[in-house]
């Protein structure tokens, strides 16, 4: 009772103004001191200034310094002399001596760049928080002013110790400040004025006043700086978030403390008789409710000062709350959704996908990567992009949330790479924008991403998508780029133009291959025409890999392929062949009978699903030899399976990689050496034969068999399977092994490219240094250029016309990739198709640097939309017309990107031609009568085919940038605009190709790092890493000598298209089945059939049959054949023997070729041109 009474008596007189006055006195005294000091310095400088015209004295200089010359009227004063004079006349304001040293010491002490400074700043922050906590306790337990003696209050003693430390820190900051007046007016300086002096006054008065100690809450605003010093905050988003949160909390706590002070103290002009007892926490609650504009009314300000403060607080805080809180929420929401770090599950793989991340690119990627035919793909996909996903992409990510995660960031930042756990990722895939405005800039950006990824983690496997072929060379400059590790580049231009080039040689092959490496499912419908049902079944076929069971051991490849086809209902395409040293393996595509299956050999199959391919792994000759149902071929108990690798590996499917120790031994500087006959040479790993047949063999079975494909002939020699041992490396350096077909023979237009150093009738032997391509010395563009008159006077036939739309400044598309497959060395020189390019001459001058070493190329300057130009190049007599566009594809309306290509296609189809050329040539051949147009009699395979009367029969292939534009190419189809590209008629017929089909190659390359090499093998002309290194030098292709090692590289298996109308397979053209055709071709000719190219309208009910064909991939065994069908096949060739033979042997070979008896032609309802049938015109 006594203590309470004494406390009340003590509080009868209040001394709050002493505490407040101490703070104000310190502040005003400091201001006065700074101003007086500055005034004294100014007066001293004014006094020390010499009179006008006097020479100033210089310290330690006995004489005087001459003043600057007087300024003349109209002249300018030299800046340097003025500065020097000013320096001499006016002493420097900067401190010197010990003052400067003290300032430097203080600056280093409080700087966040030093360890001491960071520790000091952190300690100040922690003590400020501790002092604020003491204030919270005092505000909760005591009144605003209390008479507790200082000696009896441990909290006051601790707080005084803190304030002593703050005083020392304030003095250090003052010394280090450059502008003392600005420092005195800083926010943190005001915090010290109103918190440090009152703590000393409390000792003197022996009482405590809460006062303005709540200002310590403003120290929370330094949290972002401290966290930045400690390297905790690394991103601008997090720094911004911490600043917003710190400022909001600081203002909230400080305002609550001020309201608590004035409400509990009352108004001073009424002698503090109207106080309202509010706790500090009630004040915080009231201010938060006020800021949020809720205003419950349960708590409010009653004092006049409190009401005035609330009015001002509302005007400031409501705007702050309305803008900052949503921004904080947005940042927190984004961080929660797309921030943070990837949490990797134990035992589960993940890949990182970066680059061009949009809804279209991600949906195409996921559609193929997560296809159901891959069985259980236990791989998580982590996307990282600097732009947050839009609503469309966000919805896509939610649909695949169990296997897909998105992170906001960039691979150019090491912190973001660490967030997505790039060091433990199985691979990193970099996607490109195929519709970019500048392909070279897009490639440069993606290469920089690869550099950043490799710099962070050199061991990771990187698969990058590039636009231009020549930019692949820059990847070789990255030290950690290693093909052996699985690093690869999917070049869009190389593959796109390679597909189109194959369509020039084997129409429809681009569609067949595109369907094989893309994961699709058969979608039968009851109302589908028969041709669509056949085509759709073929689209469900994919390429897979699986280990062959021990029952295949000792079999030759034809025997194994026959067993797989007839027994297992699988198409065996190639096998893995180990080298003699056992350390390396190659891929042998249809190698013939000299290669025998060894234990645990991996095979490459065409099948509908990975489940079907398991039959090759489970097959047991003891248990399954009598099985008639393929579903009965399952795992048996008569042999151990532990010695084999379980599970199916899809080339474009499930991800077991080829023999880890085998296919990763290749180095770009490494050479394989093989023995061929008596020669030891260094060549590419295509060749692994030890015994090569001699050219002197006269066996009748080894004589070349003439095959006619329509009006064209197959220009490879067909013999026994002993001659067909050709290995094509799938792995190694991801060699692009050429397997280009030929379906026509083109007589050379001129002799400009003929080799005069060889005897007449002998094939010219001019190839590049790798032996993969025909080569000629560099030619200037003027020699290859011709005008319209010269083109009209030249007999152009069986050629390839390239309609190119480009401006002078259009980005290069790399026409070399289109020409290279057409100039593969596994063609005879006379079989090379002449290439005529119609387009802008300024653009072609830029492309010519890469084309000047290829023979039989002609340039016609002009627009491909000009019909006179098209007639001049005999577009109606060409084997293929290719329509390309290099113009800007980044337009506002995506449907307009293909406008030139579509107009050109429709323009050609609307043209009509006379057939006088066909009549003249037919009469000159002295044929007994006209065959169906486009078909040549045996022995006259070199004659040109009759031209198309209708432009709609001209063979076309059009490149499209936008898939939906395919609906405008064919006016007679009924494709829905929303139909997927592969289901449309132009794509099924091989007359349209879109770059979007290449999106699947990224996932294909990941699941099997040999798949991309296999695809390059089947579509390019033989671009090896050796050649890529040569081209990377920028000097173009180099010619090579016709050595046995170079000529041996010509022996490469290739894709061909064989007609069933006549030739050795004509017996199956009428009422034959695909199964009997397959077995006959494999057993007797060594040919591996892979599909059919059939007329769309084969039904007798068709009133006006179309000349369009469609692709059927791997038909069933009982599939009925027609005489008009053409067969896609993998046929061996052996050109090195004919190259090494004498002219006499060559002439004997030609004579033998001519003596082959004719094959009786089959009748068919098509009476017109089978390769380009034109319905009768109605007049």
The residue with greater pLDDT, 217 or 226, is 217
Exposure on the CB side of residue 656, measured as CA atoms within 13 A: 15
Lowest mean pLDDT among 22-26, 33-37, 248-252, 270-274: 270-274
Q: At 1108, is the pLDDT very low, low, confident or very high (cuts 50, 70, 90)?
A: confident
> Are the C-beta atoms of residues 378 and 348 closer than 8 Å to each other?
yes
So what's the pLDDT on residue 88? 37
Lowest mean pLDDT among 373-387, 836-850, 1014-1028: 1014-1028
Q: From the centroid of its chain, how far is CA 607?
A: 28
Q: At 477, is the pLDDT very low, low, confident or very high (cuts 50, 70, 90)?
A: confident
So what's the pLDDT on residue 946? 55
- pLDDT of 357 > 90? The answer is yes
Query: pLDDT tens-digit profile of 96-137?
Result: 567 778 888 888 777 766 777 778 888 888 888 888 888 888
So what's the pLDDT on residue 1136? 60
| Helix 236-265 and helix 304-338, axial crossing angle in degrees, nearest 10 | 160
Write the CA distances from 56 to 48, 77, 796, integer angstroms: 10, 19, 96
Query: pLDDT tens-digit profile of 591-645?
Result: 888 888 988 888 889 988 888 888 999 898 888 887 878 888 888 877 554 444 4
**Contacts of 57 by beta carbon, 8 Å cutoff, 6+ apart:** 50, 64, 65
> Are the C-beta atoms of residues 590 and 1104 closer than 8 Å to each other?
no
Which residue in 882, 887, 897 sits closest to 960, CA to CA? Answer: 897
Rounded to 5 degrees, what are φ and ψ at 463? -120, 115
Query: pLDDT tens-digit profile of 570-605?
Result: 999 888 887 665 556 777 788 888 888 988 888 889
- pLDDT of 69 > 80? The answer is no
So what's the pLDDT on residue 1137? 56
Lowest mean pLDDT among 340-349, 361-370, 1160-1169: 1160-1169
Write the CA distances from 670 to 356, 685, 867, 1025, 1051, integer angstroms: 35, 10, 52, 11, 22
Q: In whole angstroms, what is the distance from residue 872 CA to residue 881 CA?
A: 14
> Are the C-beta atoms of residues 338 and 390 closer than 8 Å to each other?
no
Lowest mean pLDDT among 77-81, 192-196, 285-289, 299-303: 77-81
So what's the pLDDT on residue 947? 61
- pLDDT of 76 > 70? The answer is no
* Euclidean distance between the first and the last CA atom of the chain, given in angstroms as a whole number: 127
| Helix 509-516 and helix 492-505, axial crossing angle in degrees, nearest 10 | 130
Radius of gyration of the chain (CA): 43
Q: What is the largest CA-CA distance in the chain?
A: 141
User: Tokens 């004589």 — which residue?
Assistant: 703
So what's the pLDDT on residue 1092? 93
Which residue in 957, 944, 850, 983 sits closest to 901, CA to CA? Answer: 957
The residue with greater pLDDT, 527 or 428, is 428
> Are the C-beta atoms of residues 956 and 970 closer than 8 Å to each other?
no
**What share of the chain has pLDDT > 90, as a percent?**
19
Highest-confidence range of 289-303, 402-416, 758-772, by mean pLDDT?
402-416
> Are the C-beta atoms of residues 359 and 392 closer than 8 Å to each other?
yes
Which residue in 832, 842, 822 sits closest to 781, CA to CA? Answer: 842
> Are the C-beta atoms of residues 734 and 1012 closer than 8 Å to each other?
yes
Q: In whole angstroms, what is the distance from residue 1047 CA to residue 770 CA?
A: 9
What average pLDDT does range 1155-1169 have in this prediction?
A: 38
Tokens of 397: 């990510």
So what's the pLDDT on residue 280? 87
Lowest mean pLDDT among 43-57, 805-819, 854-868, 922-936: 922-936
The residue with greater pLDDT, 765 or 368, is 368
Lowest mean pLDDT among 10-14, 458-462, 1117-1121, 1134-1138: 1134-1138
Q: At 438, is the pLDDT very low, low, confident or very high (cuts 50, 70, 90)?
A: confident
Which helix (H) or strand (E) is 730 found in, with range? none
Which residue(s) pair with 578 in the sheet?
585
The residue with greater pLDDT, 110 or 411, is 411
What average pLDDT does range 392-419 have in this prediction?
A: 90
Tokens of 794: 């030249």
Q: In whole angstroms, what is the distance from residue 801 CA to residue 44 CA?
A: 92
The residue with greater pLDDT, 89 or 1060, is 1060
So what's the pLDDT on residue 32? 92
Mean pLDDT, rounded, of the chain = 75
So what's the pLDDT on residue 985? 86
Write the CA distances from 536 to 177, 429, 513, 525, 669, integer angstroms: 79, 30, 14, 10, 44
What average pLDDT does range 375-387 have in this prediction?
A: 85
| Helix 391-399 and helix 359-369, axial crossing angle in degrees, nearest 10 | 10
So what's the pLDDT on residue 749? 38
The residue with greater pLDDT, 305 or 147, is 305
Q: From the centroid of its chain, how far is CA 899?
A: 26
Query: pLDDT tens-digit profile of 680-735?
Result: 333 333 333 333 333 333 333 333 333 333 333 333 333 333 333 333 333 333 33
Tokens of 327: 């921004």
What average pLDDT does range 212-222 have in this prediction?
A: 86
- pLDDT of 661 > 80? The answer is no
Q: In whole angstroms, what is the distance from residue 683 CA to residue 432 CA?
A: 34
Query: pLDDT tens-digit profile of 943-979?
Result: 445 566 788 888 999 999 888 888 888 766 666 666 7
So what's the pLDDT on residue 2? 52
So what's the pLDDT on residue 580? 65
- pLDDT of 660 > 50? The answer is no
Q: In whole angstroms, what is the distance from residue 823 CA to residue 983 CA?
A: 32
So what's the pLDDT on residue 688? 36
Lowest mean pLDDT among 343-347, 758-762, 871-875: 758-762
- pLDDT of 917 > 90? The answer is no
> Are the C-beta atoms of residues 1121 and 1060 closer than 8 Å to each other?
yes
Query: pLDDT tens-digit profile of 1010-1066?
Result: 778 778 877 887 777 677 777 767 667 788 777 787 777 787 788 788 889 888 888
Rounded to 5 degrees, what are φ and ψ at 576? -85, 130
571-599: burial string, b at 16+ Cβ within 10 Å, e else:
bbbbbbbbbeeeebbbbbbbbbbbbbbee
Query: pLDDT tens-digit profile of 260-308?
Result: 888 888 888 887 788 888 888 888 898 888 888 787 778 888 889 888 9
């Amino acid at each position: 009772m006594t203590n309470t009474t004494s406390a009340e008596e003590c509080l009868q007189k209040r001394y709050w103004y002493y505490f407040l006055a101490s703070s104000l006195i310190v502040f005003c005294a400091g201001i006065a001191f700074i101003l007086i000091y500055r005034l004294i310095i100014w007066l001293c400088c004014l006094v020390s200034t010499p009179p006008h015209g006097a020479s100033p004295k210089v310290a330690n200089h006995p004489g005087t310094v001459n003043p600057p010359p007087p300024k003349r009227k109209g002249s300018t004063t030299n800046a340097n002399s003025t500065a020097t004079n000013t320096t001499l006349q006016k002493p420097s304001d900067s401190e010197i001596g010990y003052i400067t040293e003290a300032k430097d010491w203080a600056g280093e002490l409080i700087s966040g760049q030093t360890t001491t400074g960071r520790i000091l700043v952190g300690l100040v922050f922690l003590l400020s928080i501790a002092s604020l906590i003491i204030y919270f306790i005092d505000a909760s337990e005591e009144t605003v002013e209390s008479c507790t003696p200082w000696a009896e209050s441990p909290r006051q003693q601790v707080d005084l110790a803190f304030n002593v430390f703050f005083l020392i820190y304030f003095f250090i900051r003052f010394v280090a400040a450059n502008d003392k007046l600005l420092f005195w007016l800083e926010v943190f300086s005001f915090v010290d004025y109103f918190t440090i002096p009152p703590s000393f006054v409390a000792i003197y008065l022996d009482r405590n006043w809460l006062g303005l100690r709540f200002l310590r809450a403003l120290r929370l605003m330094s949290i972002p700086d401290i966290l930045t010093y400690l390297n905790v905050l690394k991103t601008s988003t997090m720094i911004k978030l911490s600043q917003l949160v710190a400022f909001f909390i600081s203002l909230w706590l400080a305002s609550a403390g001020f309201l608590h002070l004035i409400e509990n103290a009352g108004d001073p002009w009424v002698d503090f008789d109207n106080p309202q007892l509010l706790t500090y926490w009630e004040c915080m609650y009231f201010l938060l409710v006020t800021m949020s504009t809720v205003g419950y009314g349960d708590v409010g300000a009653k004092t006049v000062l409190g009401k005035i403060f609330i009015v001002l607080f509302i005007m400031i805080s409501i705007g702050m709350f309305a803008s900052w809180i949503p921004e904080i929420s947005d940042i927190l929401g984004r961080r929660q959704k797309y921030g943070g770090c990837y949490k990797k599950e134990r035992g589960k793989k993940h890949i990182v996908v970066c680059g061009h991340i949009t809804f279209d690119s991600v949906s195409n990627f996921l559609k193929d990567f997560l296809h159901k035919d891959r069985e259980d793909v236990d791989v998580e996909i982590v996307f990282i992009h600097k732009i947050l996903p839009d609503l469309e992409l966000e919805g896509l990510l939610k649909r695949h949330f169990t296997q897909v995660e998105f992170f906001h960031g960039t691979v150019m930042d090491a912190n973001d790479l660490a967030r997505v756990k790039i060091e433990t990722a199985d691979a990193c895939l970099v996607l490109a924008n195929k519709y970019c405005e500048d392909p070279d800039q897009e490639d440069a950006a993606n290469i920089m991403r690869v550099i950043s990824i490799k710099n962070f983690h050199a061991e990771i496997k990187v698969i990058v998508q590039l636009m231009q072929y020549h930019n692949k060379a820059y990847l070789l400059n990255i030290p950690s780029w290693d093909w052996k590790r699985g690093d690869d580049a999917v070049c869009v231009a190389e593959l796109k133009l390679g597909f189109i080039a194959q369509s020039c040689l084997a129409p429809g092959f681009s569609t067949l291959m595109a369907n094989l490496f893309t994961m699709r499912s058969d979608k039968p419908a009851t109302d589908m025409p028969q041709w669509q049902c056949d085509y759709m079944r073929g689209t469900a076929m994919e390429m897979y890999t699986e280990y062959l069971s021990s029952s295949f051991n000792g079999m030759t490849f034809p025997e194994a392929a026959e067993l797989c086809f007839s027994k297992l209902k699988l198409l065996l395409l190639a096998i893995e062949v180990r080298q003699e040293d056992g350390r390396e393996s190659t891929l042998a595509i249809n190698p013939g009978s000299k290669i025998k299956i060894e234990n645990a050999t991996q095979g490459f199959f065409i099948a509908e699903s990975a489940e079907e391919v398991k039959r090759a792994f489970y097959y047991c000759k003891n248990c399954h030899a009598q099985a008639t149902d393929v579903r009965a071929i399952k795992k048996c108990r008569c042999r151990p399976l532990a010695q084999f690798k379980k599970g199916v590996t899809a080339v474009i499917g499930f991800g077991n990689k080829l023999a880890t120790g085998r296919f990763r031994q290749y180095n770009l500087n490494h050479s394989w050496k093989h023995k061929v006959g008596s020669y030891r040479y260094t060549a590419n790993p295509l060749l692994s034969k030890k015994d090569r047949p001699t050219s002197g063999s006269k066996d009748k079975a080894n004589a070349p068999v003439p095959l006619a494909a329509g009006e064209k002939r197959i220009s490879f020699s067909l013999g026994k399977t002993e001659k067909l041992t050709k290995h094509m490396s799938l792995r190694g350096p991801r060699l692009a092994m050429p397997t280009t077909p030929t379906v026509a023979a083109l007589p050379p237009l001129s002799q400009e490219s003929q080799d005069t150093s060889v005897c007449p009738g002998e094939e010219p032997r001019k190839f590049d240094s790798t032996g993969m391509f025909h080569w000629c010395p560099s030619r200037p563009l003027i020699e290859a250029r011709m005008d319209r008159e010269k083109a009209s006077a030249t007999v152009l036939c069986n050629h390839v016309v390239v309609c190119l739309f480009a401006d002078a400044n259009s980005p290069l598309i790399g026409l070399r990739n289109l020409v290279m497959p057409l100039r593969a060395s596994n063609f005879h020189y006379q079989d090379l198709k002449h290439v005529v390019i119609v387009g802008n001459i300024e653009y072609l001058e830029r492309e010519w640097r890469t084309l000047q070493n290829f023979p039989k190329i002609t340039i016609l300057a002009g627009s491909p939309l000009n019909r006179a130009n098209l007639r001049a190049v005999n577009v109606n007599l060409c084997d293929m017309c290719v329509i390309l566009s290099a113009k800007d594809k980044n337009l506002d309306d995506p449907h307009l990107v293909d406008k030139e290509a579509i107009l050109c296609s429709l323009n050609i189809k609307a043209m009509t031609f006379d057939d006088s050329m066909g009549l003249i040539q037919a009469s000159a051949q002295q044929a007994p009568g006209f065959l169906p147009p486009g078909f040549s009699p045996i022995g006259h395979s070199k004659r040109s085919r009759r031209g198309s009367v209708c432009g709609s029969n001209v063979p076309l292939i059009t490149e499209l940038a936008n898939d939906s534009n395919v609906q405008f190419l064919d006016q007679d189809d009924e494709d829905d605009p929303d139909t997927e590209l592969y289901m449309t008629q132009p794509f099924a017929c091989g007359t349209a190709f879109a770059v979007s089909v290449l999106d699947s190659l990224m996932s294909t390359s990941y699941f099997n790092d040999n798949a991309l090499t296999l695809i390059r093998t089947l579509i390019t002309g033989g671009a090896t890493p050796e050649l890529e290194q040569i081209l990377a030098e920028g000097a173009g292709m180099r010619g090579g000598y016709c050595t046995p090692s170079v000529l041996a590289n010509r022996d490469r298996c290739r894709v061909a298209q064989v007609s069933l109308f006549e030739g050795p397979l004509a017996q199956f053209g009428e009422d034959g089945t695909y199964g009997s055709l397959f077995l006959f071709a494999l057993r007797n000719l060594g040919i591996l059939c892979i599909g059919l190219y059939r007329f769309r309208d084969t039904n007798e009910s068709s009133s006006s049959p179309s000349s369009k064909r469609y692709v059927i991939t791997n038909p069933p065994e009982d599939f009925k054949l027609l005489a008009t069908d053409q067969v896609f096949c993998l046929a061996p060739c052996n050109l090195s023997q004919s190259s090494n033979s004498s002219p006499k042997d060559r002439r004997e070979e030609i004579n033998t070729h001519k003596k082959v008896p004719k094959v009786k032609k089959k009748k068919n309802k098509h009476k017109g041109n089978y390769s380009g049938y034109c319905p009768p015109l109605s007049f």
